[in-house]
Chains A and B, each alone.
Chain A
Amino acid sequence: MQNVILGIKNFFKRRGIGFYFTMGGVLLSVIEVIIYSVAFSTMDYAQYFSQPAVICSVFAIILGVGLSLTKWTESLAPVALGVLELAAFMLFIKDGYWYFTTQFFGGITMQAIVTTYYGYLCSIILFLLILGVSIASVFLRQSKQIKQTENEGGNEVCQNQNI
């Protein structure tokens, strides 16, 4: 048990700021999937709902977490997250733009903006946040920079070649 705790401690100990950005993006993606699915499950808005967008987001979450677990793939995690969430966002726009033409049929007015359905506003804000976070994460180190050393057996102890 202690080894597990120690392993977890070590795991997080060597994580860089990029990792936490990625995880932040993953967390936002989870929230986004929940809000989007709930908000658009009612028949009023079901016609604007994009199932592929949700599938993309779910894959983004799985890959964002999964790829972060190994040092060989951790640098790909924010890329996968960003690309899949971008695709999800675009699908969201494509299937939902009719709503905007309806909502803003009379022009982009304050009244139209404040009466915009919460599902749209929240989803857009979350998508933009996720994209921002994941793009930033691509340029940040996923693991801390630790000087490369070799143990007695000549095996690599730690490397942080954030590609």
Chain B
Amino acid sequence: MSPIASDEKATDSMTSDNRFPSPFDIEAPEGAQGWEQLYNWYHLFGEDRREQDEQRFWFQDRLHHPEVLHPYDEIQCECWWQALGAFNTRVFAMPPAFGVDQRVLNGYLYVTPVPAPPEDLAARAELFGRRAGYYYENWDSIYAEWKTKVLACLDRITKISFEPLPDIEPESVVFERTGQSSGYRMIRDFSDLVQTMYETYQYHFELLNVGYAAYLTFFQFVRERFPDISDQTISRMVGGLRVDLYRPDDELKRLAREAEQLGIGDVLLEGTDPASVFAALDATDEGRQWRTDWDKTKDPWFLINTDPGHPGASHVHPTWIDEPAIPLATVKEYVRRLRAGEQIDRDTAGVLAERDRISGEYRELLDPADRTAFDQIVELARTVFAYIEEHVLYIEHWMWATFWAKSKDLSRALTAMGALDDPEDMFFLRRTEVAETLYDVVAAWSVGGTPRGANYWRPIVEQRRGIYEKLRAQPPVLAMGPPPAEINEPFTVMLWGITTASVSEWLAQRRTTDQGEKVTVLRGVAGSPGVAEGPARVVRTVGELLTVQAGDILVCPATSPSWSTVFGQVAATVSDVGGIMSHTAIVCREYGLPAVVGAGNAVATIRDGQRIRVDGDTGVVTILD
């Protein structure tokens, strides 16, 4: 196409080229009509608020919720919708930003950051200075208290158990004079389970965005003074701390080493599936000794969710406890590396020394007048960074793994009591509908009757399953509405990695596909340096990792810490979401693999087996076939 022709094209469709479709123009996939009933009414677009919502820029929250939501799992979104908003808007008075608003469309979660009114900036800045300042000054003791509060939440939900209700109450109800029926307690416990998650999210955002603000400030401070510095170098001045998030992986290394000491490494190396490995281990004293250690390590260190991207985002993905094949494969890989004479321990001292060298030398390059400020902000960034990393273990892994496990206990109990046909049915009910179902079951149990639940829900669940499948079959539009001319809202950039550049790239891709042309180049963030070519292996869930072969290029929505075995095999990685500090980028740098993160639409665009080139220096992915 000549440049003149393409200019004409651009002028022609200028208006629609510069904005994404309106949420009110997006139709439900064929057969998914009526999908709205799966979600809470306040989570939906509606004609009554069209005027407001059509003027906002919405993007699909693929960082946290890349998949179609199950109705029950909507609670995950609601937890952070409320808590992030309240702590930004009302508690810390974050000067430029209110909360992040949410809508569900065609089963996918869309979000839009709400800016604070510019005229409030000064007043909010003063409040934020006092309030956030108090947290920064007392961070370590506040964080110590924080752990106590969150572990108390964990303890509370761990103790909840959902069993089918007994025919006759145990004697304790009478002789210990508890005065409460199991039916009442079942209703109460479900309510506690949900409320405790809400409580946990208060703590989640008690520290997260105040912490991010400090971390972001450090980035900006350095970047303003060294415009050419890479994000990777800035993050190396902060990271490298020995934080609890690495502990699960360290436990697997320890188990690998112990297996070698006990002389049972061969059993792990030769094993194909967990059942046969455990059977072989149980045949010897050493094997049984190792099994005991393994079982002891499970709680809490295998309470690890395997969702691609945001751990614990849905009930669908298994934990390491559910799928022992995942941690076993990692241990096996460590045994192999130990035998190859490789060092498997993280070189924490080396990383710390390098961190201090880099920040020291950059400090020397600063104008002397800026050095005190640098010292203050790097120290604060390091202080908050431990929380930014560690909260993921406590909340996204431990709390959510436990919440989903308890929810599954409840769904099994309800099924056993005839309120549902199948445990999975419960996840097609909204949280409030589950509470209703519980009341139905408990009332029926109490009077000695039959619950109405299964008959009532059967046609509804069947219809919802059909809708859910249709929704899943259609990938979401990336964004809706008019994008701002410039994206500088700090949390959009920092958390979602969405920038002015990435939005114009999405618009460009839209133009390409609108013109019926194939997208052959995807641009994202240069996550880890180097260039590699190979066949693409598109992986959406942890189960699909087994199809990955040496030399493949992993193309995924995002990676998870529990995917670590795959990085020993792949030649490069491409992820749809994530910035420079995403798990994918960090791990690939550790493994020396090229990575492009935040590539937008790679999973939907790249076909399994296609040859692609990944340029981790420039952030470009090229489809070669």
**A pairs with B:** no
Q: Which residues of B contact A (CB under 8 A)?
A: none
Q: Which residues of A contact B (CB under 8 A)?
A: none
